[in-house]
Amino acid sequence: MKNQRVLTGITTSGTPHLGNYVGSVRPSVRFSRQPGVQSFYFLADYHALIKVGEPARVQRSTLEIAATWLACGLDPERVTFYRQSDIPEIPELSWLLTCVTGKGVLNRAHAYKASVDKNNAAGMDPDAGVTAGLFMYPVLMAADILMFNAHRVPVGRDQIQHIEMARDIASSFNHLYGEHFTLPEAETEEHVALLPGLDGRKMSKSYDNTIPLFVPREQLRKLIMGIVTDSRAPGEPKSTEGSALFQLYQAFASAEETAALAKAFADGIAWGDAKQTLFERLDQEITPMRELYNELMQNPAQIEKTLLAGADKARAIATPFTARLREAVGLRRLDSAVSSVATKQAKASAPAFKQYRESDGQFYFKLVDADGTLLLQSTGFASGKDAAQAIAQLQQQGAQALTALQERLAVQGDSEALASALSHFGAQAA
Ligand code: TRP
C-alpha cells in the first residue's frame, strides 16, 4: 500500500544485543527503505525511566541505541529519527489519552499483571513495587504511535497487546471527539521472538544471556564459544531442532548457508567447528557496522545534532496536530468564539443522516441529532443516488453546502445546532 506510515521505538534501558538487532533494528532499517513508506523511529527514553533509575545508564543507552540504528544503515534524511523526550507534545497527548482510557483496560496489561501475579504468589500487596509509570506504560506508548498516525508498528510479539490497546484508546478518543486518529496495526517478524540467548532461552537482558551486538571481535568469539550445546561428540549427528546455535545462525545466514549447516549437523560436525562457523558468519555481517558504530560513539555531538534535526521534523507534525487535538477536547482560547454548553453536548453525541423512501415513491433524507431532534429534512429526490449525493455534499462541505442545497431542503433546524452537527462530519472526513 502507498503512503504507509511505519513507526517504532526502542526503550533506552540497555546495550543493544543480537536479539534487538534481529528483532527490531534490522527489520526497521529494511522497512525504511521500502518505497511509499514514511518511517518514524525513535529512542523511547521516557519509557526507560519506568525501569531504570540510573541517569547515566539512560544517557549511555540513548547514545548506544542511536549509534546502533545509524551504524545499521538508518538514513536520517529519509526517515524521521528522534528522541521521544525532545517532543513535549507526546507527554501532553499521553494525558489526553489517559482521560479516555479505562483503568480496567490497564489492569489487564501483561507487564502490569505479571508484577501483580508475582506479588500475589509471594503473599505481598498486589501493587508492591509497582509504579504508576509501569501502570501507564501502554498509554504513553499509544501517544507515541497516535501522535504520528502510524498505520504499521513493527514490534516483538510481547508488544502486540500494547498496539491493541493503542487501537482501543484511539477508538475511544475518536468516538468522543471525532476521527482524529488512525487505528494502528502491529507487524511482527515470525522468527523474532524466538532468537535464543547463550543458554537457549529467549535472548533477553532479564535472563542475562545476551550477546551484545557490537562487542569487540574477540569477545564475540568467546561469547559464541560459550553457547550451550548438548554433549554429542564430534562425528555424532546433531539435531538442529532446539539448537540455539543453529537458530542464531539461521537468523543471519541465507537459506543456502542454513541448509549447508543443517547438512553439517547431520554429518556430525564438532560443536567447536559449528561455533566457529557461526562466529565467522556473524562477524562478517557485524564487522562493517561495528567500525561505523565505534566511529559514531566517538562523536556524540554529531549524534545529538542528528537527533535534534529529527525532533524538528517530528515537531513539524506534532505541534500543529496537538493544537488541533487541544481544540477538539476543549482546551481552547477564550478570545475565540465560546460555544454554549448545549451546542457542545450536541456535538459530543453523534448526529446521523437517515435516508428513506416515502409513499410518493420519492427519496428523502433527514439529519437528526442523538436525542432525535430534527435538524434538517430534504424535499423529495427522484433517485436514492441523488439523495445520497446531497448527503455526501453536506458531510464534506458542512454548513457551506446549505446554501447550494437550499431548494432541496424542506426543514432547517436551529442554525447553530445544525452547523455544529455538520462540522462533526467535516471532522470525520479530514
Ligand atoms: N515498548 C517498546 C519496547 O519496549 C518500545 C516502545 C515505546 C515502542 N514506544 C513505542 C515500540 C511505540 C513501538 C511503538 O520494545
Per DSSP, the residues of 218-265 read HHHHHHHHTS----PPTTS----TT-HHHHHHHHHS-HHHHHHHHHHH
User: Residue 348: what pLDDT?
Assistant: 52
Q: Is 159 in the pocket of ligand 1 (CB under 6 A)?
A: yes
What's the average model confidence in pLDDT over 87-109? 96
Find out whether the beta carbon of 154 lies less than 6 Å from any atom of ligand 1.
no
Q: How far is the CA of 151 from the centre of ligand 1 (A)?
A: 15
Average pLDDT score, the chain: 91
Alpha-carbon gap, residue 118 to 25, rounded angstroms: 31
DSSP string across 59-107? HHHHHHHHHHHHHTT--TTTSEEEEGGG-THHHHHHHHHHTTS-HHHHH
DSSP state letters, 368-415: E-TT--EEEEE--BSSHHHHHHHHHHHHHHTTHHHHHTGGGEEEE--H
84 lines ligand 1 (CB under 6 A): no
* Listed residue (247, 421, 281) closest to 351, CA to CA: 421
Q: Calculate the alpha carbon distances from 38 to 1, 71, 188, 317 in Å.
A: 12, 20, 18, 13
Nearest-atom index, ligand 1, CA of 137: 1
Q: C-alpha cell of 21? A: 538487532
Cα 325 to Cα 334: distance, rounded to the nearest angstrom: 16
**Contact assessment for residue 152 and residue 182, using Cβ atoms and an 8 Å cutoff:** no
Q: Is the shortest distance between the CB of 141 and ligand 1 below 6 Å?
A: yes
Query: For 406-417, what is the mean pLDDT?
Result: 87
pLDDT tens sequence across 306-327: 999 999 999 999 999 999 999 9
Tell me if 373 sits within 8 A of 350, measured CB to CB. Answer: no
pLDDT band per the 50, 70, 90 thresholds, residue 347: very low
Gap from CA of 8 to ligand 1 centroid (Å): 6
Q: Return d(Cα 118, Cα 414) in angstroms, integer.
A: 59
Looking at 136-140, 207-211, 216-220, which range is the least confident one?
207-211
Cα separation, 90 vs 314, in Å, equals 11
Mean pLDDT of 73-90: 97
What pLDDT does residue 346 have? 44
Any atom of ligand 1 within 6 Å of the Cβ of 186: no
Mean pLDDT (whole number) for 258-269: 96
CB of 144 within 6 A of ligand 1: the answer is yes
pLDDT surpassing 50 at residue 18: yes
Identify the weakest region by mean pLDDT among 18-22, 146-150, 185-189, 323-327.
185-189
C-beta 8 within 6 A of ligand 1: yes
What per-residue confidence (pLDDT) applies to 336? Answer: 75
145 lines ligand 1 (CB under 6 A): yes
Task: Catalogue all structural domains in the chain, each as residue range(s) with its CATH number.
Answer: 4-194+299-327 (3.40.50.620), 214-297 (1.10.240.10), 348-429 (3.30.160.160)
The response to whether residue 45 sits with its C-beta less than 6 Å from ligand 1 reads no
Question: Region 93-113: what's the mean pLDDT?
Answer: 95
- Span 249-271, mean pLDDT? 95
Residue range 108-115: mean pLDDT, rounded: 93
Given a cut of 70, whether residue 268 has pLDDT beyond it is yes
Question: Of all protein residues, whose CA lies closest to atom 11 belonging to ligand 1?
Answer: 9
User: Is the pLDDT reported for residue 190 higher than 80?
Assistant: no
Q: Is the CB of 11 under 6 A from ligand 1?
A: yes
Gap from CA of 83 to ligand 1 centroid (Å): 12
Residue 349 is predicted with a pLDDT of 58
Cβ-proximal residues to 186 (8 Å cutoff; 6+ apart), any chain:
153, 154, 155, 159, 160, 163, 164
Residue-level pLDDT at 192: 52
The kind and range of the H/E element at 160 are: helix 160-177
HSE of 327 in the Cβ direction (CA atoms, 13 Å)?
11
Across the range 173-181, mean pLDDT stands at 96
| 31 to 26, 36, 37, 79, 349: CA distances (angstroms) | 9, 10, 8, 10, 40
Q: Interhelix angle for 55-71 vs 271-297, to 10°?
A: 100
pLDDT greater than 80 at residue 378: yes
Q: How remote is the CA of residue 145 from the centroid of ligand 1, in Å?
A: 9
pLDDT score of 216 more than 80: yes
Residue 162 is predicted with a pLDDT of 96
DSSP state, residue 158? G
Which residue did the predictor score with more confidence, 105 or 370? 105
CA–centroid distance, 80 to ligand 1, in Å, is 16
pLDDT at 415 over 90: no
Nearest 5 degrees, angle CA 313-CA 324-CA 146?
60
416 pLDDT above the threshold of 60: yes
- Output the pTM of the full model: 0.77
Query: Could you tell me the pLDDT band of residue 398, with boundaries at 50, 70 and 90?
Result: confident
Mean pLDDT of 189-218: 85
Running DSSP on this structure, what letter comes out for residue 149?
T
Task: Kindly report, residue by residue over 218-259, the tens digit of the pLDDT.
Answer: 999 999 999 999 999 999 999 999 899 999 999 999 999 999
- End-to-end CA, the chain: 20
Residue 388 scores a pLDDT above 80: yes
Q: Which residue has the higher pLDDT, 192 or 234?
A: 234
